[in-house]
Amino acid sequence: MYMHFKQPNIIRIIGNIGSGKSTLLNFLKKERPDYFILDEPVETNPLLDLYYKEPEKWGMHLQVFMEDAYYQGLQESKKDNILTDFGLTRVFTQTLHKQGFLDTKRFEMLKIISNKYEVSLPKPIYFYIMTEPKICLKRIKSRGRICEQNIKLDYLKDLDFFYKEFIENQKNPSRHVLNISVNFKYSRILEYLEIIESDRIKK
């Protein structure tokens, strides 16, 4: 159970691989140093290389690792506002299942694990970065992470589909989701953060 007296605002930047999550998070780090920043582990992730080489073998291990890293990271925060770029485990799990890398038994088990984590944490506010899969793939190739170089467009298209499905299914999306397009001005995001902070104070 989350132990804050008043639940913090968790702003979760989500979107496809290569959509621009890290770029936005790095911008907000500089503009809002008062926030607790929870970076998704990439360079320090011991399973990422293994996952991309053998997704059927390591897919479930990676998703459990990411769920636990997200949960444990949030527990370290003592601040009222948290920013993170952790991807949604449920989206990657659905994609792995659709592409045949995760059998139905393990898929259902991961859903149970994800749900247990979710109910123990405050509901996040999602900043959803909408980037076309082809653009994501181009960025992935240009940034040069070795483990990502074999990512296929079909994989990114499936992630894109399940992210969109997740956003569409959110209750009260005007309160819990900010859709960020390619031309969205970052200054507007700062304004939105101020609104979120004000709403928390009023509660």
Q: Give a yes or no: residue 74 inside a domain.
A: yes
pLDDT band at 2 (very low <50, low <70, confident <90, very high): very low
DSSP state letters, 156-186: HHHHHHHHHHHHHT-SSHHHHEEEE-TT--H
Q: Give a yes or no: residue 113 inside a domain.
A: yes
Domain that holds residue 121: 59-197
Domains held by the chain: number:
1
Q: Give a yes or no: residue 157 inside a domain.
A: yes
Q: Give a yes or no: residue 75 inside a domain.
A: yes
The CA distance from 77 to 71, in Å, is 11
Eight-class DSSP state of 6: S
Q: Say whether pLDDT at 199 is over 80.
A: no
81 contact partners, CB below 8 Å, separation of at least 6: 8, 9, 11, 32, 34, 35, 36, 193, 196, 197, 200
Output the domain CATH number for residue 125: 3.40.50.300
The CA distance from 203 to 199, in Å, is 7
Q: Give a yes or no: residue 27 inside a domain.
A: no
**Percent of the chain residues topping a pLDDT of 70:** 93
Q: Give a yes or no: residue 22 inside a domain.
A: no
pLDDT band at 203 (very low <50, low <70, confident <90, very high): low
H helices of the chain, where? 21-31, 48-53, 55-75, 89-98, 104-119, 133-143, 153-168, 173-176, 186-202
The CA distance from 25 to 156, in Å, is 21
Q: Give a yes or no: residue 54 inside a domain.
A: no
Instruction: Tokens for 96, please give them.
Output: 């792995």
Q: Give a yes or no: residue 3 inside a domain.
A: no
Tell me the per-residue pLDDT of 10-54, one tens digit each, with 9 for 90 and over.
999 999 999 999 999 999 999 999 999 999 998 899 999 999 999
Eight-class DSSP state of 147: G
Q: Say whether pLDDT at 144 is over 90.
A: no
76 contact partners, CB below 8 Å, separation of at least 6: 36
